[in-house]
Structure 1
Amino acid sequence: MHTDGGCRPQRHGLLSSHLQALLSSDPSAAVVEIRELFRDVSLPCKFCKRRVDVCATRETVSDQNVAKRELDRLGADLLADWLKCPSMLPAILLLLLPHVLQAMQGSYAQVSTSPFSNETTTDREALLQFKASLSQQSAALVTWNTTSDFCHWPGVICSLRHRGRVSALNLSSAGLVGTISPSIGNMTFLKILDLSFNMLQGEIPSTIGSLRRLQYLNFTGNSLHGGIPDGLSNCTGLVNIMLDKNNLTGEIPSWLGGFTELVALILSKNNLTGSIPPSLGNLTSLQALYLNNNQLEVSIPEDIGRLSNLQWLPLYANRLSGMVPENVFKLPAMVAFGVDQNDLHGALPPNWGNNQSNLEFIYLGINHFTGNVPASLANATMIDTIDLGVNNFTGMIPPEIGTLCPVIFSFDSNQIEASSTKGWEFIMPLTNCTRLSVLSFRYNMFAGELPVSITNLSTNLQVLYTGFNQIQGSIPPGIGNLVNLQKLFLSHNRFVGVLPSTIGQLKMMRALAVDGNLLSGTIPPSICNLTLLQRITLDNNNLEGSLPLCMGNLVATLSRNAFAGPIPREIFNLPSLSFILDLSNNHFEGPLPPEVRSLSKLAYLNISQNNLSGSLPETLSSCQSLLELHLDGNSFNGSLPTSISEMRGLAMFNLRNNFLSGAIPQEFGRMKVLEELYLAHNNLSGQIPVTFQSMTSLHQLDISFNHLTGLIPMEGVFAKSTGFLFVGNDGLCGGVQELHLPPCPVRSRKHRGMKHQLVLIIIVVSIGSLLCLTLTLFSYSRWKKGSHSTTLATTERSFMDHKYPKVSYAELLQGTDGFSTANLIGSGRYGSVYKCRLSLKAVETEVAVKVFDLQLSGSSKSFEVECEALSKIRHRNLISVVTCCSSSDSKQNNFKAIVFDFMPNQSLDKPIPGLTLLQRLNIAVNVADAIEYLHNNCEPPIVHCDLKPSNILLDADFVACVGDFGIAKILSDSEDVPAANSKSFTGIRGTIGYVAPEYGEGGHVSLCGDVFSFGVLLLEMFTAKAPTDAMFVNGLTLQRFVEMAFPDKLMYIVDPVLLTTDETQKDPWRVEKGCCACFGNSSTDDL
């Protein structure tokens, strides 16, 4: 119901009585109308087991014999379907009518031999004026001229009874660009007017009110703006009004309530405001009322409950409030009831579902409904989908609900409960439902044990979500019966016992989450059977023993368990381990195996807080794709291997709380993309390498509580103090004033003249005392290991406290109304963005606040990376930071947020009605300017690494700004690597579909990667197809899709709402060719 593909119920089955009347009065007009109704639509999926070949309705039928053959070909199959489902007879008959009518029209065309027989000039002139109002010539109108009979023009149907008068104008998907001419009102015999899916702009002309015979009006999928014209109130004979997918504003006119013949009113996906007029309750013939995706407010009028024939009522994604009238719930003919994503409240009627045998779809999610789910709903036996998620429902799910056998049953995020003795009864009748595909009841109050009957659910079940409840007991072994499960989330309950070995029978599994429970024992070897598994989360349990050698998946998080013994060397040889390996907070011991070198594609390795010891293996340098390496909280000793400096893609390196000694290698200064380095609480000595000054990406350096000495550098990254910690090193001196360290001693010329003598003495003494020093260090190391837990320092202050002191958590909390969902703009990988009002410099200002979810790994780093990166770059097409906040929330948890300028048009991934080709080109130029600045005007160059529509923000004038620098990379200095070919090693960076192919193979970050992403972005802008759309399978990609259409078929793939008046419209292939030029088979071919 919430998609435009598949079945469009309002486009068929609604006009049978209207078409019967039209057949007798104007058969030729009926041809156009019926063809439009079935132009791109099949019969309802619910009733027919297969899709009907709709192309048959578009075939040219020249005589009665051909028509009869078509009837015979389709009739048998359709009749078989009808016998299974008699309610589809009207729709089937309608599908067959075009063949008969086309034959009639063909016979008429043969009779009319004179090209100008009985025509009038009024409609000819009106049509030519309509053509003249278009700013771009359409191929469909090439034959519209003064020398041919306009009754034979494409899209024009003249009346059989009134010769020379146009009864139907059907120019759907004709590539029309421009405005609708007021002359349209001169064709007063029009009954059908279809200009849908073009690129028309401007307002709907008021002269349309002169079309008093009009019965079918369709302007769907254009860029029309303004209000619904009052002149339309004269067209009281309208049966269908389709104005959806435009940019219409204003209120819904109350005079629409006088259209007593109206069967379908489709106004969805506009910017309509105000309330739903109560007068719509007078439309007693109405079967479809689509008002979704607008900005309608106030409550749903009780008058809607008088529409006894209403079947389709999508009101979702508005701002409706109050209670839904009981008579609206109980509309007897209702098929789909969708009021989700509003602000509605109240309880559901206790007898809802009685006498509603047609009800199939219920969407109530994301509201404030309360009370119990009524058992009477079980009487609506045709129900297909029930979505009650994100409300305040209480009580228990009635057992009768399980008898409905829906395909989708979701009631996440409520207060529905169950206990060990009752509340689970609804599961048993669900076991008889072979269609059940999704069952989800996360974030509720389910307790007791998971009933064994859940293992007898349909083998067609693909999704089972029970997370974030209080379910106890063991995971039933019979879970392995659900052989088609793809997602199983049992997280954050109180499951005990072992992970059953039958889990290995779920060979279709792609995501398995059992984290946050009390599971114990070992991981069963049968888990190796899950060859399609992409994500497994087992952390925060009591699992122990060794790891199965097959535990190599895209994501493997096994932290906070009780695994012990050495880390299996074999686990490092798994080629499928290509993204995350988290073994932290366990009891692993022994050395880090040298086989770690095999993790050449891994992006994140965390083995912190274990009992690992020994020296760091030199083979670590082979992990060229690592972005983050966490080795803190172990007992590693020895010196830091200089080979680590070869890990050029490493962004975060944590070695806190170990027993490392020796000097920090000067070679670490070559790690140009290193952003965070934590070496605190070790035994490091010597001076801070001066090479660190050139590490331009470094914004967090913690080398506190070591034995470092000498001068703290003052140039490069050391010119600021924020984010750098040196405490606990008594031998350090100098540095910038903000460090408040003592100045280094100033030596006289005499002392400087004795330098060489002193050095010679030191060398001699050192040779004599080397053995003693070695023994001393060894003894001290043993002493430190024994007393390590007593030397931890006080809590570190956030480096952002000094840099961004202007806004507090309390101000952000107040400015966002407690981070309410009403102010939620969007969500990303590391947090959410809210609209907020702040007092900045005594001026009330609307801003956007990005709040980081610090429970997610990498979010804290992303916060610091983004603050640092955005503080260094300035460009009109790059998002700018207003301020930052690093504090604690009301529960004393860490809180981090960034405040940006507010972008009223949000991001490019949101639907923007009426976005013209010229605007899209300007946005593309804006993005290109930003990339050019990052690549060529920043020294060293910056690679964004995640160019995609959601990271392109639009201001009030549709000027684009590139945002989200949370994973950006700064490349090598120009003296090391030429800017055009500068690369650094990295792992997978970016978003699937937009990331360069070689990144997924452990390739290098390069400027070409951004160019590739930019090319994908351009193609999506001009085709309105995302690279991750479901159509792109079996080797077909967005790039290939465009290449196949180039150059002769571009008009079939271009976004139909594009609008332009510039030269580009004459050669649209140049745009697509330019997009395709941004990538070849890989981004290295881009330039």
Structure 2
Amino acid sequence: LASAIEGNETDRLALLALKQHLVGANSPGPLLSWNASLHFCYWYGIRCDRNRQRVIGLQLVRLKVAAAGTISPSIGNLSALRVVNLSDKLRLLDLSNNDLHGNIPIELNNCSSMQNINLILNSLTGKIPFGSGDYHMKNLTILTLAANCLSGGIPSSLANLSSLDFLGLSRNQLEGNIPNDLSRLSNLKVLVFSRNNLSGTIPSSIYNLSSLTYIDMGSNQLSGEIAPEIGFLFPKLGILYIGGNQFTGKIPRSLANISILDQLDINSNGFCGPVPENLGKLQNLTLLAIDYNHLGSGKDGDLDFVSSLTNCSGLKVLAIHNNRFGGVLPDSVTNLSTQIEIDLGGNLLTGKIPSSIGRLQNLVTFNLSMNHLSGPIPSSIGNLSQLSLLDLTILKEGFIFQEMNSMLITLNLSHNSFTGVFPSDIVNSKDLVELYVNNNNFIGGIPSQIGEISGLIFLHMQGNHFNGSIPLSFCLLRATESLDLSANNLSNTIPSELQKLPFLVSLNLSFNRLEGEVPQEGVFKNTSQFSIIGNQNLCGGIPEIHLPRCSENQEAKNKGSALSTQALLIMILSILIVSILVAIIVVFCWRKRSRRELINRPATPLLSVGCSRVSYQELLEATNGFSAPNLLGEGAFGTVYKGILYQHKNPIVVKVLNLQNVEAIKSFEVECEALRKIRHRNLVKVITSCSSVDFKGNHFKAIVLEFMANGSLDKWLKCDSPRHLNFGQMLDVAIDVGNALDHLHHHCESMIIHRDLKPANILLNNDMVAHVSDFGIAKILSDATGKLGFVQATSSFVKGTIGYVAPEYGMGGPTSREGDIYSYGILLLEMITGKTPTDDLFNNGSGLHNFCKMALMSLQQLKEIVDFRLLKQINDPNKSQNMKVDGDDIIWKCFVAFINVGVACSVEVPFERMKIEDAIKELHAIKRVYQYHRIVK
């Protein structure tokens, strides 16, 4: 008894000391309850043993207010602690994403059973203490200290952590050399040292770590040459990032022997000489980034290696810009992977652009800027329907083609010698966001059609010989932020409508021949946002620009100009209204005449709409004015409504994006494109989309999706739901979702990672067939990519939802298929237990995975975790006695097998997770046994 009382007092004092270190004595927050008015077993976040009243559980993860201080060494005095415990039983310490500061206590080394330490995203300082002392945490497999302020060198003592397979030290202030002793970590698979101040060469002993699959040493000051035999020493290497250092020498030819190499990024170093032609042997290569080096000789033959890359059928990013590559652009470039981003800018290339470039039908970005190319730009470029970025800045000479595709987002033709009238057809792309044609020799008027590009943000046309007036259609550029028309020969007045553009923050009209009154509202209110110098006959404006007052004649002229502008607009509107009325009459008559045909004709299938866009008006009518009764839900990216499109009886879902959320705007085109390309029985189908403005002139973007009558899986799994799945339906849903993931991961043109798989994103149709949704706003990735090379991904949002997100994402790990599989495993476990991964039951840090894994050890524990609604189904008194709950019962064996799949998919180490195709096979086997059992019974 005396021993128990002494232990209790030790726990109480240890907790008070911990509180003092974390938040201070008087700080508010979740730890306010830690005071003398309550027994410490009732304090927030504390779990005690019922019999001995000793602390066995301590939950501090993500307590933003509470966990803002130093880690007290006194935490080691909580000797009965099982979860967050510094005794010899602690296995997992996760204090990630808090505001902890101070040094990491050296006492952590006494945790001899520790397997995983995650202190990522804090403000910890001092040196790394791990591996020192008498105890070396022999069982530690994962150590991630990324995104802190740790200093000093990488300690050699880390080599004592003999079981370590994941070492993450990125984004700190570490310096000095990489220790030789790390070569003793024979189990190491992942080594991440990026974004520190490390120097010196890579020790030769590091090349002995043959088990490495992932190396990231980018953005340091490492130097020297890469071992010529590296390709023979790292046979399992999938990703190699060493960009942003000071490495020199040649690219080792032996790299071609790493047959599974997926991504090779050596950008921003001092590599020189030719690129090995045998890199084409890397048939799994998806990213090759060798930009910003000194590669090539400036002569013919420098790009011969490109021909070998045609064997890399999965290559998605080829970044070789800013080197010394010379010679002509080989025709073999048009034989590369059909969907690819190519950046050849900043080299010494000569000759013509191959006319066969049009064969790359799915070319996404193409940068040839700052070379010495000549001759015409092939008209076939205009046929590249997926091209979103075309950069032809600073070429030697050439003439322009007549039209572009409708997918182009960025077009840069600046700093060239293009002449003649600027063709209006070149702005055929209504999705254009950036247009740069500055510093050329274009003449004539500026095409008024540019004003019809409603999403244009950057428009730079300066440094040409454009004449005439500024088009009145520019008043329609409501999204434009930067407009530069300087150094041309534009004349007449400044359209007053420019002051009404809501997002315009930079306007340059200088050095033209403009005259008349300068507007005073909008962008014209701030002298730092507009420039009109070099125009001789301007007047008025705000006082700060010191222009003379406009004379009565000038005011009359401006008024007359304004009136003429208004008259022109009125005339245009009148013609438009008359045309609409005539069209309505024609349509009315036609509909009346063919009513009988329409009645007798079968209803048009909903999906026959294809990808043709609908108007804002149509969606407004379809959703009854986006009314509350039609509202299905609301999220970070927008609002979801139910509706019915005109001429279609089937209901639809309208996903309206929240344009106040920049990420939502970025995601729109990506989601449309992903959904348009992908078709699968278990993926939600896109019907159409809308990119327009509402009746107030605000931008409006929406996606129209197929409606799922049985709603989301999330609603079926809730305990208070009147509807719930039986085990047969559960198996079907699990297989459906697995098939959807398998398709996204392995059977699309580009591998797609969902990144946010959860019950709310799984929808059920009338037949209870599961459809995965919201995969379109994920990044379209190459296989297991963590980087996209020179073109950044257009979706940059969070990698998942708490509880379902893979643990490696919290450590700064790359997005991967394994991350989706983890979420899938948690989903399976939630389905069979009826417990969400954020259930209060797991406040002790155990988690749904460990909860289920432990339950597999005994039948009694298994009975306690299976959803009570499933138990009701198998314990139905109307069923045969052969259906009783027994350790040998077939149904229970099916339950165990189902849980085993969920556990195998959600293990902590990504490389050890079950493959999705294996999970589907297991689930099919369980389904066959279950169905046979049901038939026999």
* TM-score of the aligned structures, taking structure 2 as reference length: 0.53
Going from structure 1 to structure 2, the CA distance change for 1:1004 and 1:333 (only over 3 Å counts) comes to closer
Report whether the alignment pairs 1:964 with 2:664. Answer: yes
Contact 1:559–1:583 (CA under 8 A) maintained in structure 2: yes
- Counterpart of 2:488? 729
- Counterpart of 1:403? 160
Contact 2:288–2:317 (CA under 8 A) maintained in structure 1: yes
Find the aligned partners of 1:282 and 1:304 in 2 and give their Cα distance.
Answer: 22
* Matching residue's letter, 1:411: L
Contact 2:219–2:243 (CA under 8 A) maintained in structure 1: yes
Which of residues 44, 66, 79 in structure 2 aligns to 1:297? 66
Structure 1 residues 882-925: Cα deviation after superposition (integer angstroms, max 9, x where no partner): xxxxxxxxxxxxxxxxxxxxxxxxxxxxxxxxxxxx99943289
Find the aligned partners of 2:183 and 2:114 in 1 and give their Cα distance.
Answer: 23
Going from structure 1 to structure 2, the CA distance change for 1:926 and 1:372 (only over 3 Å counts) comes to closer
Report whether the alignment pairs 1:311 with 2:75. Answer: no
Going from structure 1 to structure 2, the CA distance change for 1:502 and 1:281 (only over 3 Å counts) comes to farther
Find the aligned partners of 1:928 and 1:349 in 2 and give their Cα distance.
Answer: 47
User: 2:225 aligns to what SS in structure 1?
Assistant: coil
1:334-733 alignment runs, 5 A limit: 334-350=90-106, 352-354=108-110, 356-374=111-129, 375-376=131-132, 379-405=136-162, 406-419=164-177, 423-430=178-185, 433=186, 435-459=187-211, 461-480=212-231, 481-544=233-296, 545-546=302-303, 547-551=305-309, 553-574=315-336, 576-638=337-399, 640-642=400-402, 644-645=403-404, 647-668=405-426, 670-717=428-475, 723-730=482-489, 732-733=491-492
Contact 1:520–1:542 (CA under 8 A) maintained in structure 2: yes
Structure 1 residues 1015-1054: Cα deviation after superposition (integer angstroms, max 9, x where no partner): 7997586589999998964448989986699539999859
Going from structure 1 to structure 2, the CA distance change for 1:345 and 1:548 (only over 3 Å counts) comes to same
Contact 1:588–1:612 (CA under 8 A) maintained in structure 2: yes
Going from structure 1 to structure 2, the CA distance change for 1:1005 and 1:446 (only over 3 Å counts) comes to farther
Find the aligned partners of 1:621 and 1:1004 in 2 and give their Cα distance.
Answer: 26
Contact 2:346–2:371 (CA under 8 A) maintained in structure 1: yes
User: 1:923 aligns to what SS in structure 2?
Assistant: strand
Contact 2:630–2:643 (CA under 8 A) maintained in structure 1: no
Structure 1 residues 285-312: Cα deviation after superposition (integer angstroms, max 9, x where no partner): 4444334344551656776433213232
Going from structure 1 to structure 2, the CA distance change for 1:400 and 1:470 (only over 3 Å counts) comes to same
Going from structure 1 to structure 2, the CA distance change for 1:562 and 1:1045 (only over 3 Å counts) comes to farther
Which of residues 756, 762, 768 in structure 2 aligns to 1:1047? 768
* Matching residue's letter, 1:484: K
Contact 2:710–2:765 (CA under 8 A) maintained in structure 1: no
Quote the offset at 1:551 in angstroms.
3.6
Quote the offset at 1:474 in angstroms.
0.9
Quote the offset at 1:680 in angstroms.
1.5
Going from structure 1 to structure 2, the CA distance change for 1:288 and 1:692 (only over 3 Å counts) comes to closer
Going from structure 1 to structure 2, the CA distance change for 1:666 and 1:394 (only over 3 Å counts) comes to closer
Quote the offset at 1:506 in angstroms.
1.9
The alignment yields a C-alpha RMSD, in angstroms, of 5.0
* Matching residue's letter, 1:385: I
The higher radius of gyration belongs to: 1
Find the aligned partners of 2:636 and 2:194 in 1 and give their Cα distance.
Answer: 44
Contact 1:669–1:689 (CA under 8 A) maintained in structure 2: no
Going from structure 1 to structure 2, the CA distance change for 1:598 and 1:490 (only over 3 Å counts) comes to same
Find the aligned partners of 2:230 and 2:416 in 1 and give their Cα distance.
Answer: 43
Contact 2:708–2:765 (CA under 8 A) maintained in structure 1: no
Find the aligned partners of 2:242 and 2:195 in 1 and give their Cα distance.
Answer: 11
User: 2:350 aligns to what SS in structure 1?
Assistant: strand
* Matching residue's letter, 1:428: S
Find the aligned partners of 2:831 and 2:630 in 1 and give their Cα distance.
Answer: 19
Find the aligned partners of 1:577 and 1:688 in 2 and give their Cα distance.
Answer: 35
Find the aligned partners of 1:283 and 1:919 in 2 and give their Cα distance.
Answer: 56
Going from structure 1 to structure 2, the CA distance change for 1:920 and 1:382 (only over 3 Å counts) comes to farther
User: 1:634 aligns to what SS in structure 2?
Assistant: coil
User: 1:691 aligns to what SS in structure 2?
Assistant: helix
- Counterpart of 2:678? 997
- Counterpart of 2:845? none
Find the aligned partners of 2:191 and 2:175 in 1 and give their Cα distance.
Answer: 16
- Counterpart of 2:633? 922
Unaligned runs of 5+ in 2: 1-28, 297-301, 499-508, 517-521, 530-615, 621-628, 647-652, 691-701, 718-732, 746-756, 772-827, 839-868, 870-937
* Matching residue's letter, 1:292: V
Contact 1:706–1:729 (CA under 8 A) maintained in structure 2: yes
Quote the offset at 1:1056 in angstroms.
4.8
Q: Percent identity?
A: 23
Going from structure 1 to structure 2, the CA distance change for 1:303 and 1:255 (only over 3 Å counts) comes to farther
Contact 1:254–1:278 (CA under 8 A) maintained in structure 2: no
Find the aligned partners of 1:449 and 1:1013 in 2 and give their Cα distance.
Answer: 56
User: 1:516 aligns to what SS in structure 2?
Assistant: coil
* Matching residue's letter, 1:624: S
Structure 1 residues 542-587: Cα deviation after superposition (integer angstroms, max 9, x where no partner): 111214224462122111111111111111122x241311111111
Quote the offset at 1:1004 in angstroms.
12
Contact 1:340–1:366 (CA under 8 A) maintained in structure 2: yes
Find the aligned partners of 2:64 and 2:83 in 1 and give their Cα distance.
Answer: 19
Quote the offset at 1:702 in angstroms.
2.2
Going from structure 1 to structure 2, the CA distance change for 1:692 and 1:1017 (only over 3 Å counts) comes to farther
Quote the offset at 1:357 in angstroms.
2.6
Quote the offset at 1:413 in angstroms.
1.9
Going from structure 1 to structure 2, the CA distance change for 1:283 and 1:510 (only over 3 Å counts) comes to farther
User: 2:200 aligns to what SS in structure 1?
Assistant: strand
Find the aligned partners of 2:112 and 2:247 in 1 and give their Cα distance.
Answer: 40
Going from structure 1 to structure 2, the CA distance change for 1:1029 and 1:590 (only over 3 Å counts) comes to farther
Find the aligned partners of 2:277 and 2:200 in 1 and give their Cα distance.
Answer: 29
Find the aligned partners of 1:730 and 1:993 in 2 and give their Cα distance.
Answer: 44
Find the aligned partners of 1:682 and 1:712 in 2 and give their Cα distance.
Answer: 18
Going from structure 1 to structure 2, the CA distance change for 1:1023 and 1:361 (only over 3 Å counts) comes to farther
| Residues paired across the two proteins, number | 576
Find the aligned partners of 1:343 and 1:445 in 2 and give their Cα distance.
Answer: 23
User: 2:321 aligns to what SS in structure 1?
Assistant: coil
Find the aligned partners of 2:687 and 2:378 in 1 and give their Cα distance.
Answer: 25
Contact 2:401–2:426 (CA under 8 A) maintained in structure 1: no
Quote the offset at 1:499 in angstroms.
1.1
Quote the offset at 1:673 in angstroms.
2.5
Going from structure 1 to structure 2, the CA distance change for 1:801 and 1:1026 (only over 3 Å counts) comes to farther
Contact 1:380–1:404 (CA under 8 A) maintained in structure 2: yes
Going from structure 1 to structure 2, the CA distance change for 1:294 and 1:688 (only over 3 Å counts) comes to same
